[in-house]
């Protein structure tokens, strides 16, 4: 891609893999994880494809698989959501923080 036209601060890595996310409340009563497709990932954000729309500003925790050990839990906030088809939404989110 043309570096000048790329407004993103970090390069994105294009990926096609399934990922678990948990929307809404974090903590002891958090909802069950749902499976989404990971579209791309960068140091500052994530792109996913989900079967439901998420409003801008909605927090969610992504469980990013690691080669060793337990998944990395990362808190994101929805930046935009675009309907691709019936029950298919492209969602971009920015990284809020990495959870312990």
Given this model, what pLDDT does residue 65 score?
85
Q: Are 23 and 53 in contact (CB under 8 A)?
A: no
pLDDT at 1 over 50: no
DSSP H helices in 1-100: none
Chain segment 78-92, per-residue pLDDT in tens: 999 999 999 999 999
Chain segment 7-46, per-residue pLDDT in tens: 555 666 555 789 999 997 666 676 789 999 999 999 999 9
CA 65 centroid distance within chain? 13
pTM exceeding the 0.85 threshold for the entire prediction: no
Give the residue, 1 or 56, on which the prediction is more confident: 56
């Amino acid at each position: 891609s043309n570096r000048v036209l790329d407004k993103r601060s970090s390069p994105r890595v294009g990926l096609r893999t399934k990922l678990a996310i948990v929307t809404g409340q974090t903590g002891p009563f958090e909802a069950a994880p749902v499976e989404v497709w990971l579209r791309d990932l960068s140091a500052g954000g994530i792109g996913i494809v989900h079967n439901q729309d998420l409003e801008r500003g909605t927090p969610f925790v992504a469980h990013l698989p690691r080669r060793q050990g337990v998944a990395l839990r990362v808190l994101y906030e929805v930046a935009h959501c675009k309907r691709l088809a019936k029950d298919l939404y492209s969602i971009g989110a920015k990284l809020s923080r990495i959870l312990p």
